[in-house]
């Protein structure tokens, strides 16, 4: 337990780290405040600065701290403005009823109001002139965490060397004469791997740390104390290294790059990001749609936007049949492959961009033939016409489908 006492202001801080807390909260910071009605406006400004510095110190120690600030602020008498705490510290004032006659003198600020019911104002105690406030926590129901599965292809240096030797000795004539594509070779050298993510995982959590935590728990259940202590220390070390890597890649490394993305990461870490809980209401039953019905409704809306568009012809119509079309060489295709950015997402059926870029000279042999054949036949490959469309909110929070922007993820090869 840590105490923070100010010599000028009547403000007492207490930080408590309980054994059982919600996963997103590491500790609780409580503050009891009293601001006299006769305090000067200059002292009120100093109190705002002091409170902001306390908030910065506590969040620097632990970014997922739960704050509860309660006390007699007398805002109608001394000019205290709750908006400063709401804006700078992302707090919410939960008392909206008068606590003395018709004035709100007692206030409660917090960033975890979702865990508590609305405050109740009851009669004063004995001969006191201010009402009492009862603020009770909600009964938390255990909710099953959602699991998201992501398929990735780990690219190991040994696999790259083996794949390079295979491509160097492969007969490309068999591929150019094939009637369909086969991804068995890619799965042989770069097998797909499914990673599970939980909705309440911390930002630094990786599959390696998850496996080590599972092994540590198993060792504890089996009574292998030495093994348990070894894995416990390894987990602490991996978490510390993962945090440092996340900070280096996302925070410190973006000082001179993109400040918007940097602050987006900072706001997400400190809990200041604006959550967009998007939900739609059924026009007939006026009930909230489930995820499946919401996805179908959004798809129908996006399809309806293009109903008046002309139908795209299968073949390219040209005014002059003798009009010249370009011929791509293998060197030009290889050059474009080497210019691809490895941090860009691939399409639905594309290889990893790093593989395409590393072995550009080999893949250019096939892609040059595909491009030239497409020009000669005046047909665009059908597999490159598939897009993965994601609805991105134009504003946050988003309240309707008309505030969604369709963003299409197309094939990387189709952009060459």
Residue 227: pLDDT band by 50, 70, 90 thresholds?
very high
Instruction: Note the pLDDT of residue 365.
Output: 83
Q: Which residues of 108-128 are buried (b: 16+ CB within 10 A; e: fewer)?
A: bbbbbbeeeeebeeeeeeeee
**In this structure, is the dihedral angle defined by the CA atoms of residues 183, 346, 328 and 374, taken in order, positive or negative?**
positive
**pLDDT level of residue 414 (50, 70, 90 thresholds):** confident
- Of 38-42, 231-235, 289-293, 353-357, which has the strongest mean pLDDT? 231-235
Identify the residue with better confidence: 293 or 221.
Answer: 221
Answer yes or no: is pLDDT of 240 > 70: yes
pLDDT digits (tens, 9 = 90+) for 4-25: 667 778 888 888 888 777 777 8
- List pLDDT tens digits, range 59-116: 888 878 899 999 988 888 888 888 777 777 888 888 888 888 888 888 899 988 888 8
By CB atoms closer than 10 A (0-12, 13-18, 19+), residue 204 is middle
* pLDDT tens per residue across span 112-158: 888 888 888 888 888 888 888 898 888 766 666 677 787 778 888 88
CA pseudo-torsion sign 210, 212, 215, 216 = negative
Q: In the chain, how many H helices and how many E strands? A: 13, 12
Average pLDDT along the chain: 80
Topology of domain 2-134 in CATH is Deoxyribonuclease I; Chain A (3.60.10)
- Of 151 and 349, the one with more pLDDT: 151
pLDDT at 317 (0 to 100): 53
Q: Where are the beta strands (DSSP E) in 35-167?
A: 65-72, 92-93, 106-110, 120-122, 132-134, 147-152
DSSP string, 348-398: SSPPPHHHHHHTHHHHHHHHHHHHHHHHHHTB--GGGG--EEEEEESSSS-
On the question of pLDDT at 246 being above 60, the answer is yes
Residue 254 has pLDDT above 70, yes or no: no
pLDDT at 238 (0 to 100): 92
Straight-line distance from the first to the last Cα atom of the chain, in angstroms, rounded to the nearest whole number: 61
Best CA proximity match to 115, nearest among 52, 24, 51: 24
- What does the pLDDT read at residue 47? 86
Q: Look at residue 3 in the predicted model and tell me its pLDDT.
A: 55
**In the prediction, which pLDDT does 22 show?**
77
Section 224-231 average pLDDT: 92
**pLDDT reading at 258 higher than 80:** no
State residue 374's pLDDT score.
Answer: 82
The pLDDT, as a whole number, for residue 175 is: 65
The answer on pLDDT for 275 being more than 60 is no
pLDDT band for 218, please (50, 70, 90 cuts): very high
Whether 81 and 87 have beta carbons less than 8 Å apart is answered as: no
Q: Where, residue-wise, is CATH 3.60.10.10 in the chain?
A: 2-134
In angstroms, how far is CA 25 from the centroid of its own chain? 18
Average pLDDT over residues 213-238: 91
Looking at the whole model, is its pTM more than 0.95? no
- Whether residue 237 is predicted with pLDDT greater than 90 in this model: the reply is yes
Section 23-38 average pLDDT? 86
pLDDT confidence bin for 230, thresholds 50/70/90: very high
């Amino acid at each position: 337990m840590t105490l923070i006492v100010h010599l000028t202001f009547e403000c007492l801080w207490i930080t408590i780290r309980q054994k059982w807390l919600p996963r997103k909260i590491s500790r609780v910071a409580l503050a009891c405040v009293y601001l006299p009605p006769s305090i000067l406006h200059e002292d009120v400004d100093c109190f705002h600065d002091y409170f902001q510095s306390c908030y910065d110190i506590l969040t620097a120690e632990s970014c997922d701290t739960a704050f509860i600030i309660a006390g007699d602020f007398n805002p109608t008498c001394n000019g205290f403005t709750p908006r400063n705490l709401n804006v700078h510290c992302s707090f919410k004032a939960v008392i909206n009823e008068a606590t003395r006659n018709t004035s709100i003198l007692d206030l409660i600020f917090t960033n975890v109001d979702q865990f508590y019911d609305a405050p109740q104002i009851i009669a004063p105690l004995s001969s006191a002139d201010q009402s009492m406030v009862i603020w009770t926590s909600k009964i938390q129901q255990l909710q099953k965490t959602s699991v998201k599965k992501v398929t990735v292809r780990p690219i190991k240096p040994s696999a790259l060397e083996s794949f390079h030797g295979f491509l160097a000795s492969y007969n490309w004539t068999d591929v150019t004469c094939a009637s369909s594509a086969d991804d068995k070779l890619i799965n042989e050298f770069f097998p797909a791997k499914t990673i599970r993510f939980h909705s309440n995982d911390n930002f630094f959590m990786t599959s390696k740390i998850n496996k080590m935590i599972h092994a540590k728990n198993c060792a504890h259940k089996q009574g292998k104390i030495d093994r348990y202590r070894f894995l416990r220390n390894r987990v602490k070390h991996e978490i510390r290294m993962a945090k440092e890597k996340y900070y280096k890649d996302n925070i410190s490394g973006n000082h001179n790059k993109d400040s918007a993305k940097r602050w987006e990461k900072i706001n997400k870490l400190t809990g200041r990001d604006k959550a967009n809980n998007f939900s739609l209401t059924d026009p007939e039953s006026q009930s909230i749609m489930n995820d499946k019905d919401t996805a179908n409704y959004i798809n129908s809306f996006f399809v309806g936007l293009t109903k008046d568009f002309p139908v795209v012809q299968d073949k390219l119509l040209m005014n002059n049949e003798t009009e010249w079309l370009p011929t791509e060489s293998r060197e030009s295709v290889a050059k474009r492959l080497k210019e691809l950015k490895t941090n860009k997402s691939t399409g639905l059926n594309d290889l990893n961009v790093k593989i395409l870029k590393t072995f550009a000279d080999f893949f250019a042999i096939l892609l040059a033939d595909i491009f030239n054949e497409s020009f000669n036949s005046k047909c665009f490959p059908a597999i490159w016409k598939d897009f993965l469309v994601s609805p991105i909110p134009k504003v946050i929070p988003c309240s309707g489908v008309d505030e969604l922007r369709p963003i299409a993820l197309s094939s990387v090869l189709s952009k060459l």
